[in-house]
Structure 1
């Protein structure tokens, strides 16, 4: 399976959802990290690192 940039937001969202279910107090941190990741993906910053 090849992970493309279209799959990354879905994977990040899945991980964030699981973390929030397991540890609800992490909600602020998980949401902040999720938003930062989506912003970096949207700007294409991850392509600079060849990810």
Structure 2
């Protein structure tokens, strides 16, 4: 099973979040909330 290194995943998530915010600014709260949850979970899984 191949694991994705978390340090590569965070910038990709940030880019996707930024693009979504540019496309639909009304979804800013949801995009930020989902991003923070994902980064938090990945940070906990790392340790």
Match of 1:34 in 2: 35
2:23 equivalent to 1:19? no
Q: Normalising by the residue count of structure 2, what TM-score does the alignment of the two structures yield? A: 0.84
1 or 2, which has the higher helix percentage?
Answer: 2
Q: State the Cα distance separating 1:5 from its structure 2 match.
A: 1.2
CA-atom RMSD in angstroms:
1.3
Q: Normalising by the residue count of structure 1, what TM-score does the alignment of the two structures yield? A: 0.78
Q: How many residues align?
A: 43
Unpaired segments of 5 or more residues in structure 2? none
Q: Runs of at least 4 residues of structure 1 off by over 6 A?
A: none
Bigger RCO (CA 8 Å, 6+ sep): 2
